Amino acid sequence: MGQTLVEKLLSEKMGRPVSAGETVVVDVDFAALHDGSGPLLVRLMNERGYQDDPVFDSDRILFANEFGPVPTREVANEHALTRRYACSHNCHWEEGGTGHVHAHVYEDYLKCGSVCIVGDSHTTVHGAFGAFATGCGSTDMVAVTRYGKTWIKVPETFRINVNGALPKGVYAKDIMLKLAGIIQSDQAIYKALEFRGDTIHALDMAGRLTITSMGVDVGAKAAIMETDEHTREFLKKFGREQDYREIRGDEDANYERVIDIDAAALEPMVAKPHYVHNVDLAKNCADQKVDMVFIGSCTNGRTEDLHVAADILRGKKVAKGLRLLVIPNSAAVYKECMQDGTLLALAEAGAMIEAPNCGPCMGVHQGIPADNEVVVATQNRNFKGRMGNPTASIYLSSPATAAATALRGFITDPREVM
């Protein structure tokens, strides 16, 4: 009997075969925290008298202030607390306004097939590089930071087969929204999602990262994919081709569940308030007026996402009375889209462009909606209050659907304007 991708990676780390249901303590290859989890970790270190103890490996720990340029005195003090700890322990450090913690990890540090632990739930994103990647709380991050180890109950795996050519106007986000509609928010709790099929192998890394970033949003412990030349080329772009290695799954592995998705039959989708699995076709929501559109986040703020939006909006104007907020998810994306004219095209259409950060997705910074407003966002969650206002309604979509909506002022199937 073969092994799932997660079983294979954890077996490699343990030096012996492991299987779903077994609890193991594994060495961590890379760890990171942001300005939400970082200050909590530092305070725990101080409370336990560990503040002067060495970390397990300063070259394999990153602290990143991802929520953006400091908005308040209180947040500035949180940043300062984490900055002092990171610098005094010689860890990697990234200031606010330079991008998401996850973008820093996969652009600069992540190696294929590694174990990556971050103090953030969307750590599942790194599974696009064939890594076992999952988030954990600040208490567990104490052990990770000091000893470079964590415990994992090896998860059962759902195999998600996605095959067929994506139709015009349909993107990776639509695949994930389709899957959310199938498994809802409670069927994949503490499972691994293993994505296979010719559609997945045809996707660029931006599309793969969109899918794996949302693994946790359907309850999964990890989301993982095989690696290939797309993976290699992405790492090569950032000068890290040596961090590539081939990760392949076994066809005869024991999967708890197999789900097949026909990509050719997909249409542009949205997740309606207030749950990710509350999905519908974009065309069925065409009477919904929208006040704000947000294009960005760790799910859909990459270069390819902004290119899709710019292609729809170039030479046009956003609907009167609608606010369009665009936030690249890393400094590299910001620079690339500045140099190729993407940001200019979006700005000329009426978009507000911000420095790379989380923006309103966390509900604590830049772009919080007003009472009872309706937002279409390319982020990963649409829970009540997610964007900082519990009276606002959030629809999730692909960048194409978001851009088309910004153009029309109401939820729009992007095929109508492409």
pLDDT at 407 over 90: yes
pLDDT tens digits, 2-33: 999 999 999 999 999 999 999 999 999 999 99
> Are 256 and 273 found together in one domain?
no
pLDDT at 95: 87
pLDDT at 394 over 90: yes
Q: How many domains does the chain have?
A: 2
Dihedral class, residue 383 (left if φ above 0, else alpha if ψ from -120 to 50, else beta) = beta
pLDDT tens digits, 170-224: 999 999 999 999 999 889 999 999 999 999 999 999 999 999 999 999 999 999 9
pLDDT tens digits, 90-114: 999 998 788 899 999 999 999 999 9
Q: CB within 8 A of 237, min separation 6: which ones? A: none
> Are 376 and 228 found together in one domain?
no
* Inter-residue contact 205 to 231 (CB < 8 Å): yes
pLDDT at 31: 97
> Are 76 and 154 found together in one domain?
yes
Cis amide prior to 277 (ω within 30 degrees): no
pLDDT at 210: 97
Candidates 242, 393, 377, 404; CA nearest to 309 is: 404
pLDDT at 303 over 90: yes
- Which ranges of 148-253 would DSSP assign to H, the alpha helix? 172-183, 198-202, 205-213, 229-237
* Inter-residue contact 209 to 302 (CB < 8 Å): yes
> Are 73 and 139 found together in one domain?
yes
Mean pLDDT of the chain: 94
Beta bridge partners of 207: none
Average pLDDT (292-305) is 94
pLDDT at 44: 94
pLDDT at 71: 73
Q: CB within 8 A of 204, min separation 6: which ones? A: 230, 234, 304
pLDDT at 388: 72
pLDDT at 119: 93
How far apart CA 342 and CA 303 sit, in angstroms, is 9
Q: Could you count the other beta carbons within 10 Å of the beta carbon of residue 265?
A: 10
Provide the pLDDT confidence category of residue 362 given band limits of 50, 70 and 90. confident
pLDDT at 262 over 80: yes
pLDDT tens digits, 220-236: 999 999 999 999 999 99
Which structure tokens are listed for 104?
A: 């820093």
> Are 208 and 306 found together in one domain?
no
pLDDT at 361: 76
Sign of CA dihedral 69, 73, 78, 79: positive
* Inter-residue contact 162 to 257 (CB < 8 Å): no
What is the share, in percent, of the chain residues with pLDDT greater than 70? 100
How far apart CA 137 and CA 101 sit, in angstroms, is 15
Give me the amino acid identity at 172. A
pLDDT at 368: 87
> Are 227 and 293 found together in one domain?
no
How far apart CA 45 and CA 66 sit, in angstroms, is 21
Provide the pLDDT confidence category of residue 348 given band limits of 50, 70 and 90. very high
Q: Residue 352 is part of a domain; what is its CATH number?
A: 3.30.499.10
Q: Is 258 helix (H, G, I), strand (E, B) or coil?
A: strand
How far apart CA 156 and CA 257 sit, in angstroms, is 9
Distance, CA of 46 to chain centre: 30
pLDDT at 36: 87
Distance, CA of 41 to chain centre: 22
Candidates 50, 117, 123, 115; CA nearest to 89 is: 50
Backbone angles phi, psi at 330, to 5 degrees: -155, 165
Average pLDDT (388-393) is 87
> Are 286 and 256 found together in one domain?
no
* Inter-residue contact 310 to 278 (CB < 8 Å): no
* Inter-residue contact 264 to 175 (CB < 8 Å): no
How far apart CA 196 and CA 162 sit, in angstroms, is 6
Backbone angles phi, psi at 403, to 5 degrees: -65, -40
Out of 211, 232, 262, pick the residue that ends a domain. 262
Average pLDDT (261-276) is 96
pLDDT at 126 over 80: yes
> Are 223 and 338 found together in one domain?
no
pLDDT at 162 over 80: yes
pLDDT tens digits, 28-71: 999 999 988 999 999 999 999 998 899 999 999 999 987 777 77
> Are 142 and 123 found together in one domain?
yes
Provide the pLDDT confidence category of residue 1 given band limits of 50, 70 and 90. confident
How far apart CA 214 and CA 390 sit, in angstroms, is 22
CA–CA distances in Å: residue 23 to residues 7, 87, 150, 155, 219: 12, 34, 11, 9, 19
Out of 262, 286, 318, pick the residue that ends a domain. 262
> Are 202 and 310 found together in one domain?
no
Average pLDDT (315-326) is 96
pLDDT at 35: 85
Which structure tokens are listed for 216?
A: 């946790």
Q: CB within 8 A of 138, min separation 6: which ones? A: 33, 37, 40, 41, 44, 119
> Are 409 and 321 found together in one domain?
yes
Average pLDDT (250-277) is 96
pLDDT at 377 over 80: yes
Count each helix (H run) and each strand (E run) in the chain, helices first.
14, 18
pLDDT at 289 over 90: yes
The residue behind tokens 């390819």 is 304
pLDDT at 360 over 90: no
How far apart CA 117 and CA 409 sit, in angstroms, is 40
* Helical (H) or strand (E) element with 71: none
Q: Is 162 helix (H, G, I), strand (E, B) or coil?
A: strand
Host domain of residue 290: 269-416
> Are 172 and 201 found together in one domain?
yes
Out of 242, 262, 282, pick the residue that ends a domain. 262
